[in-house]
Structure 1
Amino acid sequence: MRLRAILIWIALAGIVLVPLVAAAQSPLLQWRQPVYIAAGFAGIVALILLLLQPLLAGGYLPGLAAPRGRVLHRWTGVLLVFVVIVHVAGLWITSPPDVVDALLFRSPTPFSVWGVLAMWAVFLSALLALFRRKLRVRPRTWRLAHTAFALVIVAGTVIHALLIEGTMETTSKVALCALAIVAFLKVVADLKLFPLRLKRSA
């Protein structure tokens, strides 16, 4: 069991580090401002966090079973909000008109729309989690809303990333996106976040 745990952590470390190292070696970075580079890597970190989030929520990582994994899931959510802000703020500093066009959904680049949708879903999900007790949201409603936001976040971020031809190396980017989707679908299925009540109500 200990060997299995070690192998899982080694595999996860590789999955996390390979896209970062590959992006760091991109020739496109030679002509970019430091702020733009920081914004780009914040986006890569956000994509990595989308893989870690369901793994923590589902207790799949050795030594981080529930409830410890879910506590880290919440803190990882806070980190996700932070890196999204860094990503958008960095792009704003380097090119305010492009960010304004993206936020107003008038950008000619399709990837901007998906990125903005994912961004707002991240913020709304964080606000819902922050004010959950004050709003007295029922557990069932909370699960459905949180999962729905997560679906928009994962789908929007993956499409956003795949449509961009930037510093991320293609193979590692596609693999990371695929793993994020698989992890999300697995935790939804295992935790029954969308129970069969949808079938009963149909």
Structure 2
Amino acid sequence: MLKVVLWASLLAALAIPLMVAGFSPLLAWRDPVYIAAGFSGIIGLGLLLVQPLLAARDLPGLTPMTSRNLHRLLGVTLIIAILLHVGGLWITSPPDVIDALLFVSPTPFSAWGVVAMWAAFGAAVLGLYRTRLHLRFRIWRLGHAGLTTITILGSVIHAMLIEGTMGIMSKAALCVLVVLATARALAKLRVWDVKRRA
């Protein structure tokens, strides 16, 4: 029963922000590409909730191997969501994206989004090329966790500063859950303890 409640709670946390955004009146003035870019961002934020839960093996009913494989798969999915988010915004307004990438945008949320994006790319590279980089596991895990933490904090601040289609309550709740899940995973895995055995 507890397993069902936990999975249902996770699905609700992921679905409610999407549903709120889907019924937002702001969508009436947006073109399809911009809408798709926005929803890609929401999906990406949702994935940032699932990823630390998988890393810490906190999702019930999943074996460690399944959790690890899903973590890698959803990591790739997260990168795709980020690319779709930025790519859609590029199509609708290239100057705004260029300003954001150059950190000269007048909107504060843009810089946080760019920092989070590059940190996510770095974490993905470490995740995909762990063996080729020949890093000791503890050092690799510290680097990967550090970059993902920057990704999550940057994404949360980015999302909270945007006044868009996500409802403020559902957005805030999702962001809080993302931060709590990340803090729990970092504490459980003790990634900062490089002397600890894996």
**How high is the TM-score relative to the length of structure 2?**
0.96
The Cα shift of 1:144 comes to 0.7
1:142-181 aligned at under 5 Å gives the runs: 142-181=140-179
Q: Does 1:19 align with 2:17?
A: yes
1:116-131 aligned at under 5 Å gives the runs: 116-131=114-129
% identical aligned pairs: 53
The Cα shift of 1:196 comes to 7.9
Any idea what SS the aligned residue of 2:105 has? Answer: coil
Looking at structure 2, the residues matched to 31 and 11 of structure 1 have their Cα atoms a distance apart, in angstroms, of: 32
RMSD: 1.0
Q: What CA deviation, in whole Å up to 9, does each residue of 1:77-127 have, x standing for no partner? A: 000000000000000000000000000000011100000000001111111
The Cα shift of 1:131 comes to 2.0
Give the counterpart of 1:103 among 101, 109, 112.
101
- 5+ long unaligned stretches in structure 2: none
**How high is the TM-score relative to the length of structure 1?**
0.94
Asked if 1 retains the 8 angstrom alpha-carbon contact of 2:142 and 2:194, the reply is: no
What count of residue pairs does the alignment treat as equivalent? Answer: 195
Residue of structure 1 in register with 2:40 after alignment: 42
Any idea what SS the aligned residue of 1:166 has? Answer: coil
User: After TM superposition, what 4+ stretches of structure 1 lie above 2 angstroms from structure 2?
Assistant: none
Give the counterpart of 1:189 among 173, 178, 187.
187
Looking at structure 2, the residues matched to 27 and 38 of structure 1 have their Cα atoms a distance apart, in angstroms, of: 15
Looking at structure 1, the residues matched to 12 and 179 of structure 2 have their Cα atoms a distance apart, in angstroms, of: 18
Any idea what SS the aligned residue of 1:158 has? Answer: helix
Asked if 1 retains the 8 angstrom alpha-carbon contact of 2:139 and 2:194, the reply is: no
Read off the aligned partner of 2:6 and give its amino acid letter. Answer: I
Looking at structure 2, the residues matched to 40 and 46 of structure 1 have their Cα atoms a distance apart, in angstroms, of: 10
Any idea what SS the aligned residue of 2:57 has? Answer: coil
Residue of structure 2 in register with 1:200 after alignment: none
